[in-house]
Amino acid sequence: MGLLKKINALEPLWWSLFGLGGMIAAFILPVHLFLHGIAIPMGWVSPDLLSYERMMSVLSSPYGIIVKLFLFSIISFPLFHAAHRIRLTIEDLRIGWLNTIMPLISYGGAIVLSVITIVVLFYKLS
């Protein structure tokens, strides 16, 4: 219970991450969805532009760190956005026991996935 109390006391942090993630999900992710989901399959953009080899060489270039930070932001912050939203939805559904542990599951999940993202981006791909 002590841990859950501590998580709840961090509400300003969760809410800020929620806001930031929401901005990214609303403004940046659609650009990627458009590029990868529509423009390339439709042939408007050459698939070579975002090919695996090309991407890998960008990542290992001196600018790689900026790309990695960018990738981290568009993956991690929307996770926190989703975590907060799902937690509040569960709260509205009033499922007592789930409600109590939801902060742990949702924010914990977002933290774990963010750590995995960091490991993949900064260790596996270096």
Contact flag: residue 100 with another protein (CB under 8 A): no
> Exposed, middle or buried by CB within 10 Å (0-12, 13-18, 19+), for 28?
middle
Q: Does the footprint of another protein cover residue 98 (CB under 8 A)?
A: no
CB of 117 to another protein, least distance (A): 23
Q: Pick one of 27, 53, 94, 97: the residue that binds another protein (CB under 8 A).
A: 94
- Which positions ≥6 away from 36 have C-beta within 8 Å? 50
16 binds another protein (CB under 8 A): yes
Examine residue 15 and tell whether it contacts another protein (CB under 8 A): yes
Q: Which is nearer to another protein, 64 or 91 (CB)?
A: 91
Window 31 to 90, contacts with another protein (CB under 8 A): 88
11 is an interface residue for another protein by CB under 8 A: yes
Angle, helices 64-93/96-118, rounded to nearest 10 degrees: 170
Exposed, middle or buried, 87 (CB in 10 Å: 0-12/13-18/19+)?
A: buried
Could you tell me which stretch among 7-15, 23-31, 60-68, 74-82 binds another protein (CB under 8 A)?
Answer: 7-15
Token look-up 């650009």 returns: 31
Residues in the chain: 126
Query: Is residue 92 near another protein by the rule CB under 8 A?
Result: yes
